Amino acid sequence: MFVRGLKRKCFDGEEDIEGTLAGIKAIPSYNLQRQSLLDMSLVKLQLCHMLVEPNLCRSVLIANTVRQIQEEMTQDGTWQMINTQSTGQASLDRLVSTDILCRSSRDQAEGKHGPAYGTFSKDFESDQAQDSSETMSTASSVQAPRNLQSNVWEMENPQENKGNFQKSLDQIFETLENKSPNSVEDLFSEVDNSYYDLDTMLTGMMSNSKMGHCDSLETFSSPTNTASNSNCKSDLNDLDHIVEILVES
């Protein structure tokens, strides 16, 4: 069971730590706890390391938690405050630290699936197509023309995927920098398939993950069509570049 305290940041230095027993960390401020929870939740939504579709219930519950925190922070005014305080660099650091935090606990509880909210929101767009292709003769209406359109969108645009990939990455950082109060809604819109590839490979590259993300990604790409193969390769090149930036900072 975890007996760990939350990370202390330098602006929390007002806490009086004299007189506390060795090994017991001071209780962090409410704001700090809340921020930490927000970061953890965002990472949980983003992390996905799987070939299996994520648990929608879990994703929805985490997303609701994020919204809740966001609403409270907006009312508090702390939302704006953090926006002005942190630099791009600091928020990247925070991304990395909570990532490591969650990854270590994930290693402990192996077999648990993080939600692929990339796939989660991909569902939003593509399930219009899913409904009609997968559901046979249900009482609800059939949407055949839309089916065709979405399929085309799904399978044919490696170039577009690459562009979206970069855009998705920007969105992660943007969220943490809290550029707009509506960032949670932004998170859910327009994020596509390759988005979760980034995170899979990001976490795989940052450590020797027991889950073997890279392995699973390799087996994933091999039997299917060549379009997705080249997609992964170009993503990998982008990824190298991004990882370099993150690691150097």
Partner 1 sequence: FLGAGGGNDIQWCFSQVKGAVDDDVAEADIISTVEFNHSGELLATGDKGGRVVIFQQEQENKTQPHSRGEYNVYSTFQSHEPEFDYLKSLEIEEKINKIRWLPQKNAAQFLLSTNDKTIKLWKISERDKRPEGYNLKEEDGRYRDPTTVTTLRVPVFRPMDLMVEASPRRIFANAHTYHINSISINSDYETYLSADDLRINLWHLEITDRSFNIVDIKPANMEELTEVITAAEFHPNSCSTFVYSSSKGTIRLCDMRASALCDRHSKLFEEPEDPSNRSFFSEIISSISDVKFSHSGRYMMTRDYLSVKIWDLNMENRPVETYQVHEYLRSKLCSLYENDCIFDKFECCWNGSDRQVGFLPLCTSDYSLIVMTGSYNNFFRMFDRNTKRDITLEASRENNKPRTVLKPRKVCASGKRKKDEISVDSLDFNKKILHTAWHPKENIIAVATTNNLYIFQDKMN
Report d(CA 135, CA 142) in Å as an integer: 9
Centroid of chain to Cα 161:
17
> What is the DSSP secondary structure assignment for residue 115, as one 8-state letter?
P
Least distance from partner 1 to the Cβ atom of residue 84, Å = 24
Q: Say what angle helices 193-206 and 226-248 make with each other, to 10 degrees.
A: 50
Alpha helices in 86-222 (DSSP H): 88-108, 117-134, 144-155, 158-177, 183-188, 193-206, 213-221
Q: Nearest distance from residue 64's CB to partner 1, in Å?
A: 6
Residues that bind partner 1 (CB under 8 A): 1-3, 33-34, 37, 40, 51-53, 55-58, 60-61, 63-65, 68-69, 101-102, 105-106, 108-109, 111-112, 114, 119, 121-124, 126-127, 129-131, 133-140, 151, 154, 185, 188-189, 193, 220, 224, 228
Written as one letter, the residue type at 181 is P
Question: Which residue number, 149 or 249, has a Cβ lying nearer to partner 1?
Answer: 149
CB of 214 to partner 1, least distance (A): 17
User: Is 236 or 243 the residue whose CB approaches partner 1 more closely?
Assistant: 236
Q: Rounded to the nearest whole angstrom, what is the least distance from the CB of residue 18 to partner 1 in the complex?
A: 25
Indicate the helix (H) or strand (E) that contains 187: helix 183-188
